[in-house]
């Protein structure tokens, strides 16, 4: 017992990171002391005895605060921070212990007076009394009045997840997570109940451990304990002007129990799911009467490869009498399926929980990460298929040529290519790096003024530095000219101070809770950029000054926001629930008089119990209304700016540079406001084994911060105004069930479905439609290819209607050319030809346990949307763009003898119904199988697993991937445009998790 006492004494101090690991390993190697043995001598056994033991979870982790009660009595105790308990003076007649813990299934076990008992509790997947984070506080899940979805680390811990956003995919109704690009480190699109803003950002707000504005990409997934997604305005209004797009609350892991160490490592192998059908070198040469040199080249196979990902995660956690800690380190090394596309991330985290006194406690969180992306693929292409050797240029390059000539040099150009450059050469001879360093740090001091009154202070900093380095080293003399280079640096620092007062008190069956907040946040973004070239000699990014026309630029974007918030909550006997919130935000981005916005919300819920003879155990109806805002404009948008003009001669010789009016400011700008109404219901059946959640919502965004064109007599250009309205409305259904719950066989599943309909209610007074090109211009197009119009949905494609080809004998046309629908003036008629925003999404999550084996799979469906396949359009035409007609359908090219619907030339519009395809798909996003062993030798646990991601996709789309898009993740007005988009890959993973 001497050794045990000494170990407990040392737990009060927190050792350095390395020492934690060493002590943890030493503890696991020690043989536990045998306190009670079968040979113990018992003299004079009393009538009253004691029971000792330890309560743990399925992973062997201690459960502090678990309730241990002798069945049929009120005699019991609560476990200590190591999960230990002791009940004194227990009658010999006692037979059963009832052990319970929030989020766990209650376990009844026979009492053993002879030896310390070891009691294991398993997770209650659908426990309604678990705590959820709701912003500036927590509440019991069954007490929620708003639309909130929760994703726990237990929901995704059995599958390898590279990114936090992937952990959300398919796990919450109303939350659509789209991997726009398979490029390592690329942004991921998240929409909570559709897109609200036309010009602004539509990504949800991220709050990490209470600090607003974190970047999900930089966060290590294994550090996350839970994520709550606030969806309706009664929940998001607490974040006021930044809650319009929904809010994701991320809570990281904390320390508890005895010191433990966890190691997680896996390796993944990725490949594209399919190849695009293009002509072989021999077919291309035969159709277009071209020679094939040395057998030609399959450029798809030359460009794509097997991507390899290696991940190592090590963490240690524990808790002493005064200090708890969670520390972790992560290394992620990912090579993409396209050559020269790589991503690495290194991260370190330290979370400390310190009880300074009986009333004062502190949480100190520090997280740092370093990310590096190599040879960024800007979703393939923008204004030209050849930029950075994107996918369109690979598919449209001359297949009759080998990559290198007989002398070992690149075949840079093709006589058939009309100005094309070898895309493999361009890819390999270019360098494009982006390095991101991030620091997230915060301290939370909490003081219990009384048993019912608490005051807490959060101080946080988010620092983000991005350095971009580009050098495009195509040798001098190529068709794209000599090498050029450029780069940029961006620093963003966010400082936050939150002061929170919470009062919580019961009065009989009534409970009142009040939360008050005063918050300040300052954001300072600054950056510079430099470009150089062309270079007459080989150079690199650090030789920009050698270019003949170097240029530099810089910017500074400071902003501040000051906030007040009050929230009142009331419940009567856990049946009637009322919540009301008011938040005031004052933003420096607007002029005085327009800086302050008020964002109210209110919700009500009533919970019925044991309806229909107990068939329905709980049935809750909910309703809520709230207003949120959006201030997503650049600082100083309300001010006009001046730009330097051209040099003008004065006095005949001297040159003087003057100023001209640049962007015209609007001093009357104010908040973009979203008003949302939500009604919902929650029902529980079969002793909590079946849970149903239903939500119906109506969301109107008014006073849009919209760029409106100015008339030419004032100089043209645009001005930002508060005009326009966008509507989103829909349904969400979620079913959680324990289908099988036996001793060694368990099957849990979640099925969720979402429907969202979008409509532009109005634009500005002097415009009813807006046209633009979100993925860059097209060389051959019938005008701009995306339209926003009153009465229509966001995401409409605009273009021509393809009617096939002109046939021999048609009047006043050239046979074989494309035929389009025309108007009364014989011009090509333009109209809406598709929409890229899905309206229906669903997902089925399954977790099955068979003894020591576990199986997890996620099946997703996305429906009712189109894809504008610009890539197919570019490689289907015969001239006019920077690609060759290599698409496979050219095997069936129109000829006088074979008059097909594949045109030979003439007008050829990419934005036409010919290249709009149905994007609907069903995808097996994840399948994981694992084998688990507990308490073997010096290991606490061991799990060996294998998994596959994107194993199959059912779709009619002819491109690589219906989910990939060349539109940025934040874009709200368009989606599903495949202009050389980097496809998501099929991935196989093997991994190992070890607990010490």
Instruction: Dump pLDDT digits (tens) for 146-158.
Output: 888 888 888 888 8
Q: Residues of 180-196 as b/e, b for ≥16 C-beta within 10 angstroms? A: bbbbbbbbbbbbbbbbb
Question: Mind listing the pLDDT tens digit for each residue in 650-674?
Answer: 666 666 666 777 778 889 999 899 9
The stretch 701-709 carries a mean pLDDT of 87
- For residue 154 the two structure tokens come to 């237990």
- Bridging pattern class, strands 725-741 and 718-722: unpaired
pLDDT of residue 548: 74
Question: Mind listing the pLDDT tens digit for each residue in 73-108?
Answer: 878 888 887 788 888 888 878 888 888 886 677 788
Question: Mind listing the pLDDT tens digit for each residue in 587-641?
Answer: 999 999 999 999 999 999 999 988 888 888 899 999 999 999 888 888 888 888 7
Looking up tokens 């740092």 gives 368
Kindly report the CA angle at 358 between 354 and 360, in degrees rounded to 5?
55
Higher per-residue confidence, 82 vs 457? 457
Question: Mind listing the pLDDT tens digit for each residue in 127-183?
Answer: 555 677 788 887 877 777 888 888 888 888 888 888 889 999 999 999 999 988 888
- Bridge partners, 955 (sequence order): 921
The stretch 965-994 carries a mean pLDDT of 89
Confidence class for position 703, pLDDT limits 50, 70, 90: very high
- For residue 616 the two structure tokens come to 């329905």
Question: Mind listing the pLDDT tens digit for each residue in 744-800?
Answer: 898 999 999 999 999 999 998 778 888 887 766 666 666 788 999 999 999 999 999
Containing 21, the helix (H) or strand (E) segment is: helix 17-29
The stretch 406-415 carries a mean pLDDT of 85
645, 649, 655, 657, 780 from 652: Cα distances, Å: 18, 6, 9, 14, 46
Higher per-residue confidence, 417 vs 815? 815
pLDDT of residue 47: 56
Question: Mind listing the pLDDT tens digit for each residue in 352-368?
Answer: 999 999 999 999 999 99
pLDDT of residue 472: 77
Looking up tokens 């520390």 gives 327
Kindly report the CA angle at 47 between 46 and 53, in degrees rounded to 5?
80
111: nearest Cα among 97, 99, 98: 97
CB 161 within 8 A of CB 241: no
CB 885 within 8 A of CB 285: no
Mean pLDDT score of the chain: 84
pLDDT of residue 443: 95
- What's the CA gap between 631 and 652, in Å, rounded? 49
The stretch 39-68 carries a mean pLDDT of 69
- What's the CA gap between 309 and 162, in Å, rounded? 9
Query: 30, exposed or middle or buried, with CB in 10 Å at 0-12, 13-18, 19+?
Result: exposed
The stretch 888-894 carries a mean pLDDT of 90
pLDDT of residue 834: 95
Q: Between the ranges 382-391, 469-478, 891-900, where is the mean pLDDT highest? A: 891-900
Question: Mind listing the pLDDT tens digit for each residue in 291-347?
Answer: 898 889 999 999 999 999 999 999 999 988 889 999 999 999 999 999 988 999 999
The full DSSP string for 251-289 is EE----SS-EEEEEEEEEEEEES----B--HHHHHHHTT
pLDDT of residue 30: 39
pLDDT of residue 379: 39
pLDDT of residue 783: 72
- For residue 26 the two structure tokens come to 């030493």
pLDDT of residue 378: 47
pLDDT of residue 130: 67
- Bridging pattern class, strands 866-869 and 916-918: antiparallel
Of the candidate ranges 382-396, 450-464, 603-617, 841-855, the one whose mean pLDDT is the lowest: 382-396
Question: pTM to 2 decimals?
Answer: 0.84
- What's the CA gap between 672 and 119, in Å, rounded? 55
- What's the CA gap between 364 and 637, in Å, rounded? 37
256: nearest Cα among 303, 173, 321: 321
pLDDT of residue 16: 41
Question: Mind listing the pLDDT tens digit for each residue in 551-575?
Answer: 888 989 999 999 999 999 999 988 9
122: nearest Cα among 820, 745, 991: 745
The stretch 809-814 carries a mean pLDDT of 86
pLDDT of residue 282: 94
- Cβ contacts of residue 480 below 8 Å, gap of 6+? 386, 421, 426, 474
pLDDT of residue 771: 85
Dihedral-angle region of residue 93 (phi above 0 means left; psi in -120 to 50 means alpha; beta otherwise): alpha
């Amino acid at each position: 017992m001497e050794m045990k006492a000494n170990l407990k004494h040392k737990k009060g101090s927190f050792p350095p990171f390395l020492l934690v690991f060493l002590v943890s390993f030493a503890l696991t190697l020690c043989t536990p002391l045998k306190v009670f043995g079968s040979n113990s001598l018992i003299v004079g056994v009393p009538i009253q005895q004691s029971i000792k033991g330890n309560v743990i979870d399925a992973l062997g982790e201690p459960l502090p605060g678990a309730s241990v009660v002798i069945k049929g009595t009120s005699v019991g105790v609560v476990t200590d921070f190591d999960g230990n308990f002791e009940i004194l003076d227990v009658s010999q007649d006692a037979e059963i212990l009832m052990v319970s813990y929030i989020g766990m299934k209650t376990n009844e076990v026979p009492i053993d007076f002879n030896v310390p008992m070891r009691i294991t509790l398993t997770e209650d997947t659908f426990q309604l009394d678990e705590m959820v984070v709701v912003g500036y506080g927590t509440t019991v899940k069954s007490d929620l009045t708003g639309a909130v979805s929760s994703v726990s680390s237990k929901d995704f811990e059995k599958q390898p997840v590279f990114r936090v956003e992937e952990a959300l995919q398919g796990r919450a109704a109303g939350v659509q997570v789209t991997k726009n690009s398979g490029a390592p480190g690329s942004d991921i699109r998240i929409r909570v109940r559709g897109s609200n803003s036309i010009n602004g950002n539509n990504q949800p707000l991220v709050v990490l451990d209470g600090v607003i504005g974190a970047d999900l990409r930089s966060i290590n997934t294994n550090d996350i304990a839970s994520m709550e997604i606030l969806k309706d305005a009664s929940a998001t209004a607490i974040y006021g002007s930044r809650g319009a797009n929904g809010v994701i609350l991320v809570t990281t892991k904390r320390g508890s129990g005895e010191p433990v160490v966890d190691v997680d490592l896996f390796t993944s192998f990725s490949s594209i799911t399919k190849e695009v059908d293009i002509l072989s070198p021999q077919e291309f040469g035969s159709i277009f009467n071209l020679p094939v040199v040395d057998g030609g080249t399959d450029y798809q196979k030359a460009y794509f490869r097997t991507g390899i990902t290696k991940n190592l995660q090590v963490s240690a956690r524990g808790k002493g009498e005064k200090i708890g800690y969670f520390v972790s380190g992560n290394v992620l090394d990912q090579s993409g399926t396209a050559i020269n596309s790589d991503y690495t991330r290194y991260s370190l985290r330290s979370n400390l929980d310190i009880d300074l006194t009986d009333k004062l406690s502190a949480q100190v969180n520090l997280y740092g990460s370093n990310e590096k992306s190599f040879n960024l693929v800007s979703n393939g292409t923008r204004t030209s298929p050849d930029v950075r050797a994107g996918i369109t240029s690979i598919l449209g390059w001359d297949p009759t040529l080998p990559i290198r000539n007989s002398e070992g040099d690149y075949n840079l150009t093709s006589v058939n290519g009309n100005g094309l450059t070898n895309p493999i050469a361009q890819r390999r001879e270019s360098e494009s790096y982006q390095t991101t360093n991030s620091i997230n740090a915060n301290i939370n001091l909490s003081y219990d003024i009384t048993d019912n009154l608490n005051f807490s202070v959060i101080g946080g900093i988010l620092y983000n530095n991005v350095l971009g380095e580009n050098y495009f080293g195509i040798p001098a003399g190529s068709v794209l000219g000599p090498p050029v280079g450029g780069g940029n640096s961006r620093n963003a620092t966010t400082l936050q101070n939150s002061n929170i007062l919470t009062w919580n008190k019961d009065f009989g069956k009534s409970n009142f809770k009040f939360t008050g907040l005063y918050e300040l946040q300052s954001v300072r973004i600054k950056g510079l950029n430099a470009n150089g070239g062309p270079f007459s000699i080989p150079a690199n990014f650090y030789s920009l000054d050698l270019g003949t026309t170097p240029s530099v630029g810089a910017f500074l974007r400071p902003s501040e926001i000051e906030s007040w918030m009050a929230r009142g909550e009331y419940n009567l006997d856990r049946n009637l629930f009322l919540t009301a919130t008011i938040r005031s935000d004052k933003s420096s981005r607007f002029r005085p008089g327009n800086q302050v916005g008020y964002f109210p919300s209110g919700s009500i819920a009533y919970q019925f119990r044991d309806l229909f003879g107990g068939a329905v155990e709980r049935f809750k109806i909910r309703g809520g209304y709230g207003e949120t805002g959006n201030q997503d404009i650049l600082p100083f948008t309300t001010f006009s700016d001046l730009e330097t003009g051209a040099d003008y001669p004065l006095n005949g010789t001297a040159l003087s540079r003057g100023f001209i009016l640049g962007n015209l400011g609007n001093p009357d700008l104010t908040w973009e406001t979203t008003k949302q109404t939500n009604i919902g219901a929650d029902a529980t059946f079969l002793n909590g084994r079946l849970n149903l959640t239903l939500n119906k919502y109506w969301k109107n965004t008014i006073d849009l911060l919209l760029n409106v064109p100015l008339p030419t007599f004032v100089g043209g250009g645009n001005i930002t105004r508060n005009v326009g309205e966008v509507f989103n409305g829909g349904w969400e259904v979620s079913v959680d069930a324990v289908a099988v719950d036996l001793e060694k066989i368990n099957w849990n599943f979640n099925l969720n479905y979402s429907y969202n309909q979008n409509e532009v209610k109005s634009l500005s007074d002097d415009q009813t439609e807006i046209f633009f090109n979100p993925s860059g211009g097209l060389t051959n197009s019938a005008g701009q290819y995306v339209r926003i119009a009153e009465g229509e949905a966001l995401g409409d494609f605009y273009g021509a209607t393809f009617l096939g080809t002109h046939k021999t004998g048609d009047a006043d046309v050239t046979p074989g050319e494309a035929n389009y629908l025309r108007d009364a003036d014989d011009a090509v008629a333009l109209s809406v030809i598709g929409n890229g925003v899905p309206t229906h999404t669903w997902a089925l999550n399954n977790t099955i346990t068979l003894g020591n084996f576990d199986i997890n799979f996620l099946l997703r469906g996305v429906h009712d949307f189109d894809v504008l396949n610009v890539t197919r359009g570019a490689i289907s035409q015969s001239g006019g763009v920077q690609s060759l007609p290599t698409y496979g359908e050219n095997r069936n090219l129109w000829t006088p003898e074979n008059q097909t619907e594949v045109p030979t030339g003439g007008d050829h519009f990419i934005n036409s119904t010919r290249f709009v395809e149905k994007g609907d798909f069903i995808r097996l996003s994840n399948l994981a199988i694992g084998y688990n062993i507990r308490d073997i030798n010096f290991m606490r646990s061991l799990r060996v697993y294998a998994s596959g991601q994107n194993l199959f996709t059912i779709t009619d789309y002819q491109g690589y991937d219906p989910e990939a898009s060349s539109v940025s993740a934040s874009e709200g007005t368009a989606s599903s445009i495949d202009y050389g988009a980097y496809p998501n890959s099929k991935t196989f993973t093997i991994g190992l998790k070890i607990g010490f």
